[in-house]
């Protein structure tokens, strides 16, 4: 059984082919510069040189058609025909309140996704374009939607509602939704295994730190709070997003700089965060390197980010009670030892005892690591995320009729005999 995972962005299409029987990725790649011009695909097959092909893709249909042609190409592909694909899983950033788990896509589901696209105007439209294109090009194959927001639909009202006029929620859906749900799901299930406890008995703080950053408070195995809100702009300091700020700042700067709503939104999403502070960098490796050379603004960016991380650990510990573990994941969370150290040093009073040698050694995306001392009351783990595996298992379970939801379904990676490949 071959499962295709598709992640359609505004100008890109990422894909992966997963062999379910052998539990291996057989191919993956990306079409870049979709719509904008000079499009090309980079196709990766384990054990082969990467294959790159330039091909104009004026829309997502053309990009997905290119993916199909490359994966079935006699020389560079891995499939004899598209009929070998058993199902396609689609990443959908925003499912609103309607979707609490992954679902097979039909016209009603697609229309429901369209109904909430105003909640994620940068993300859902290309997701929808990708679904429509893939269903058109592969009409006989089942298609499944996996929602970034679904994992967080267990949050209680007092956690997800904002203190703004209540009719904003009733009329426009203004509330906290949260994102990176498949990542928080995966690492929380793995943390439960490392702790030797059922997920339903674990209290965790999961910290997904990449260019986008979100944290999640998990009590009894389910999300009870998360840092991203109505959109992915709220919360922690990110690569180019500001995270938490005084809500009056946008109006203040619109007046001072004569900015439109669209312009201020662009500044807060694309020119703030680490980039805004340093003026040059979003990649934390560059920031760490230049901070070590005495660049004050790079050092300041690291200090601000680590301080915010530390604050959220404390806040979420207060929210969930006894804390079992903190988990770092995603690119910076998995590889940024210096940022992890700054975030958790000095937290001995709440039971976190950092082992600096273990932390420094945990610089790989292939191994799960404990970075606190053996006697630390609260453990801290570095767990490489695997959102694609969540995608694949949801799709296979839906095909087999065994899927329930992320709380009840027994994932392979939540079992003691799981081996990461």
Q: How confident is the model at residue 221 (pLDDT cuts 50, 70, 90)?
A: very high
User: For residue 160, is it within any domain?
Assistant: no
Q: What is the mean pLDDT of the chain?
A: 93
Residue 378 sits in the same domain as residue 273: yes
Sheet of strand 103-104: strand arrangement = 51-54, 40-44, 24-32, 12-19, 2-8, 85-92, 143-147, 103-104
**213 φ, ψ (degrees, to nearest 5):** -135, 130
- Looking up residue 94, the CATH number of its domain turns out to be 3.30.420.40
Range of the domain at 125: 2-147
* Confidence class for position 306, pLDDT limits 50, 70, 90: very high
Q: What is the mean pLDDT of residues 259-279?
A: 94
Indicate whether 111 belongs to any domain: yes
Q: Are residues 94 and 229 in the same domain?
A: no
Check if the beta carbon of residue 317 is closer than 8 Å to that of residue 323.
Answer: yes
Helix axes 107-115, 124-137, angle to 10 degrees: 160
Clarify whether residues 322 and 239 are in a common domain.
yes
- What pLDDT is recorded for position 421? 66
Looking at the structure, tell me whether residues 228 and 363 fall in a common domain: yes
- One domain, residues 143 and 200: no
- Segment among 305-309, 347-351, 360-364 with least mean pLDDT: 360-364
Active site residues: 148
Task: Tell me the residue ranges of DSSP E strands in 236-392.
Answer: 325-329, 369-370, 379-382
Does residue 364 share a domain with residue 252? yes
Q: Indicate if 43 and 131 belong to the same structural domain.
A: yes
Q: Is residue 58 part of a domain?
A: yes
User: Do 298 and 378 lie in a common domain?
Assistant: yes
Indicate if the pLDDT at residue 410 is higher than 90. Answer: no
Asked if the structure places residue 389 within a domain, the reply is: no
- Residue 191 falls inside a structural domain: no
Average pLDDT rounded to a whole number, residues 135-150: 94
242/356 same-domain check: yes
Evaluate if pTM is beyond 0.75: yes
pLDDT for 366? 80
pLDDT digits (tens, 9 = 90+) for 313-352: 999 999 999 999 999 999 899 999 999 999 999 999 999 9
Mean pLDDT of all residues in 395-406: 88
Residues 121 and 233 in one domain: no
45 pLDDT tier (thresholds 50, 70, 90)? very high
Q: State pLDDT tens for residues 170-185.
A: 999 999 999 999 999 9
Is there a domain that residue 28 lies in? yes
Rounded Cα–Cα distance for residues 99 and 85 (Å) = 25
Q: Residues 312, 378: one domain?
A: yes
Domain total for the chain?
Answer: 2
258 within a domain of the structure (yes/no): yes
Side-chain-side CA neighbours of 22 within 13 Å: the count stands at: 7
Q: Kindly report the CA angle at 123 between 118 and 127, in degrees rounded to 5? A: 105
Residues 240, 117 share a domain? no
Phi, psi of 70 (to 5 degrees): -75, -45
Q: Does residue 419 lie in a domain region?
A: no
pLDDT at 405 over 80: no
């Amino acid at each position: 059984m071959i499962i295709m995972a598709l992640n359609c962005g505004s100008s890109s299409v990422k894909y992966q082919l997963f062999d379910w029987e052998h539990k291996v990725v057989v191919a993956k790649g990306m079409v870049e510069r979709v719509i904008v011009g000079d499009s090309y695909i980079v196709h990766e097959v384990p054990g082969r040189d990467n294959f790159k092909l330039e091909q104009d893709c004026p829309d997502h249909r053309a990009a997905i058609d290119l993916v199909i042609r490359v994966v079935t190409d006699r020389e560079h592909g891995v499939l004899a025909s598209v009929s070998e694909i058993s199902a396609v899983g689609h990443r959908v950033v925003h499912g609103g309140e309607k979707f609490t788990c992954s679902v097979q896509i039909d016209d009603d589901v697609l229309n429901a996704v369209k109904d909430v696209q105003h909640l994620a105007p940068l993300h859902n439209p290309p997701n929808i374009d990708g679904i429509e294109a893939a269903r058109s090009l592969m009409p006989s194959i089942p298609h499944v939607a996996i929602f970034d927001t679904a994992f967080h639909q267990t949050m209680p009202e007092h956690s997800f509602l904002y203190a703004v006029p209540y009719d904003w929620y009733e009329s426009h859906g203004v509330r906290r939704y949260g994102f990176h749900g498949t990542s928080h799901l995966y690492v929380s299930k793995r943390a439960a295994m490392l702790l030797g406890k059922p997920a339903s008995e674990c209290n965790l703080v999961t910290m997904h730190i990449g260019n986008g950053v979100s944290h999640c408070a998990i009590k009894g195995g389910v999300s009870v709070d998360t840092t991203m809100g109505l959109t992915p702009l709220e919360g922690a300091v990110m690569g180019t997003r500001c995270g938490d700020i005084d809500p009056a700042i946008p109006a203040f700067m619109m007046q001072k700089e004569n900015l439109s709503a669209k312009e201020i939104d662009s500044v807060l999403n694309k020119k703030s965060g680490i980039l805004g502070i340093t003026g040059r960098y979003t990649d934390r490796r560059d920031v760490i390197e230049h901070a070590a050379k005495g660049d004050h603004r790079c050092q300041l960016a690291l200090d601000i980010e680590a301080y915010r991380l530390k604050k959220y650990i404390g806040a979420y510990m207060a929210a969930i009670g006894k804390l079992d573990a903190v988990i770092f994941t995603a690119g910076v969370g998995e590889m940024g030892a210096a940022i992890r150290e700054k975030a958790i040093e000095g937290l001995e009073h709440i039971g976190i005892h950092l082992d600096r040698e273990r932390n420094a050694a945990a610089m790989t995306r292939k191994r799960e690591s404990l970075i606190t001392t053996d006697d630390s009351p609260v453990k801290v783990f570095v767990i490489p995320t695997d959102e694609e595996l969540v995608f694949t298992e949801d799709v296979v379970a839906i095909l087999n009729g065994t899927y329930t939801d992320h709380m009840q379904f027994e994932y392979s990676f939540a079992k003691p005999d799981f081996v990461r490949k």
